[in-house]
Structure 1
Amino acid sequence: MKPRSIVFDLFGDYIRYHGGEVRLRTLTALLECFDVGESTVRVVMARLRREGWFDTRRDGRETVYALNDKSWRLMDEGRTRIFERSREPWDRQWSMVIYSVPESERGVREELRKELAWLGFGPLASSTWVSPHNRLTEVQEHFADQESVRLDLLRCTSSGLSRDREMAARCWDLASLDADYAELLRTYRPRMKAYRAGTVSPKQALVERMELIHDYRLFPFRDPDLPEELLPAGWHGREAHDLFLQAHEALQEPADRFFTELSATDRVA
């Protein structure tokens, strides 16, 4: 777990629900739980502020880091993709994005591909990405300010369900993804007894909850949340998502207690 990732996960799972801001001293104490030293925390937070992810203010001799519009938007989008899964019947409609980016704008093209993957699109062909969900409005909004990006946004159908399944297999490496979901289940299923029994200490609950989020939150970049009709037999993704939600909830009370007590202690110190 990189310090940068831990910071975003702490803001996304705790700090956003406690006013959206935190003292640097409190954040340093939280990162110490993950063996991240004070000097590293200062460097990481200064870099994130320069990148525009956080605003800062002074409270006496203390520096306070606060979420801004950019980071709030990231938190909201990330939480939706990580915690929510579609269960609606599929209408057999594909959303298709055909893009054109000048050769001189390779960085823009790479960023576009990352955003499309995050939104659940997969590459059907060169410069043509598809999704079984209607997220064309989100695509349009994400790239509204990119003058170098030309987008053709379409809704379409294939010739039949067998072709739909073949398209899904071409766009995403479902076998590898399913194997990784199975590994997540093997890792966390044995821990559920201790989580539910409340035998994990508050500090360890916070650490393990962050590790859980870290292990799971990369899946939405790879998993398009396909309708059941397009999933291979024996798919582990939905079971893994349910286990993630159960473990996250089971660790909530002791982890929140540790976070609240640590924050109160640092305010008094």
Structure 2
Amino acid sequence: MKPRSIVFDLFGDYIRYHGGEVRLRTLTALLECFDVGESTVRVVMARLRREGWFDTRRDGRETVYALNDKSWRLLDEGRTRIFERSREPWNRQWSMVIYSVPESERALREELRKELAWLGFGPLTSSTWVSPHDRLTEIQEHFADQPSIQLDLLQCTSSGLSRDREMAARCWELDSLDADYATLLRTYRPRMRSYRAGSLAPREALVERMKLVHDYRMFPFRDPNLPEELLPTGWHGREAHDLFLQAHEALKAPADGFFVEAAGTDRVA
């Protein structure tokens, strides 16, 4: 767990519900639980501020950190992807993006590909990406001010469900993703009894909950949340998501209690 990832997870799961800002000394005490030293915390927070993630203010002799509006929007978007998974019926409509970017604009092309992947599109070919979800508007709005990108945005259907499944297998590495979901289940399923029984000390619960988020957080960015019709037989993704939600909730009370104690008040700043 990298210190900067711990910082963002603390804001997403705790600090946002206790004033939305945090004193540096409080943040230092919390990261000590993850064996991150004070000097490292200071370096990380200074770097994140320079990168434009945080605003700061002075409270006496102390520095108080708060995410800015842009950072909160990105954090909320990521949190939605992690905690909310659509299970609506599929109408068998594919959203298709065909793009053309000048060779001189390689950075822009990479940004486009990252945005497509973020929204759950997969590469049918290098410049043709598809998704079973209707997210063409998001792509159009995101790159509306980039005239060097030519976008053809289409909605279409294939010749049949067998072709749909073949397309999904080409666009996403579903077998390896499913294997990683199975590993997550093997790791956390045996721990659920102790979580529900409240067997962990509050500090342990906070660390365990943060590790849980860390271990699960990248799955939604690899997993396009495909309709059931396109999933391989025996798919573990939905079971893994349900287990994640249950474990996250089971650890909430003791982890929250430790956070409030570490902060020294029911409001952090």
Q: Note if contact 1:203-1:255 (Cα within 8 Å) is conserved in structure 2.
A: yes
C-alpha distance in 1 between matches for 2:150 and 2:30: 44
Q: How many residues are matched?
A: 268
* CA deviation after TM superposition for structure 1 residue 220, in Å: 1.1
Aligned Cα root-mean-square deviation (Å) = 1.6
C-alpha distance in 1 between matches for 2:31 and 2:226: 36
* CA deviation after TM superposition for structure 1 residue 108, in Å: 2.0
Give 2:43's aligned residue. 43
Q: Note if contact 1:20-1:66 (Cα within 8 Å) is conserved in structure 2.
A: yes
Q: SS where residue 182 of structure 2 aligns? A: helix
Q: Note if contact 1:96-1:130 (Cα within 8 Å) is conserved in structure 2.
A: yes
Task: Show the 5 A alignment for 1:75-114.
Answer: 75-114=75-114
Task: Show the 5 A alignment for 1:226-237.
Answer: 226-237=226-237
Letter in 2 for 1:215: D
Percent sequence identity over matched residues? 88
Letter in 2 for 1:94: W
Give 2:192's aligned residue. 192
* CA deviation after TM superposition for structure 1 residue 149, in Å: 2.7
Please identify runs of 4+ aligned residues in structure 1 that moved more than 3 A: 144-148, 265-268
C-alpha distance in 2 between matches for 1:218 and 1:247: 17
Instruction: Return closer, same or farther for 1:23/1:220 CA change in 2, 3 Å cut-off.
Output: same
Q: Note if contact 2:117-2:221 (Cα within 8 Å) is conserved in structure 1.
A: yes
Give 2:132's aligned residue. 132
Letter in 2 for 1:81: R
TM-score, reference length from structure 2: 0.96
Letter in 2 for 1:130: V
Letter in 2 for 1:116: L
Q: Note if contact 1:22-1:64 (Cα within 8 Å) is conserved in structure 2.
A: yes
Instruction: Return closer, same or farther for 1:144/1:262 CA change in 2, 3 Å cut-off.
Output: farther
Q: Residue 151 in 1 paired to residue 147 in 2?
A: no
Larger mean Cα displacement after TM superposition, 173-182 or 40-49 = 40-49
C-alpha distance in 2 between matches for 1:149 and 1:7: 35
Letter in 2 for 1:31: L
Give 1:165's aligned residue. 165
Larger mean Cα displacement after TM superposition, 49-58 or 166-175 = 49-58
* CA deviation after TM superposition for structure 1 residue 67, in Å: 1.4
Instruction: Return closer, same or farther for 1:223/1:62 CA change in 2, 3 Å cut-off.
Output: same
Return 5+ residue gaps in structure 1 as ranges.
Answer: none
Letter in 1 for 2:5: S
Q: Note if contact 1:25-1:266 (Cα within 8 Å) is conserved in structure 2.
A: no
Give 1:57's aligned residue. 57
* CA deviation after TM superposition for structure 1 residue 265, in Å: 5.9
Letter in 1 for 2:87: R
C-alpha distance in 2 between matches for 1:150 and 1:162: 31
Letter in 1 for 2:47: R
Task: Show the 5 A alignment for 1:118-129.
Answer: 118-129=118-129
TM-score, reference length from structure 1: 0.96
Task: Show the 5 A alignment for 1:9-28.
Answer: 9-28=9-28
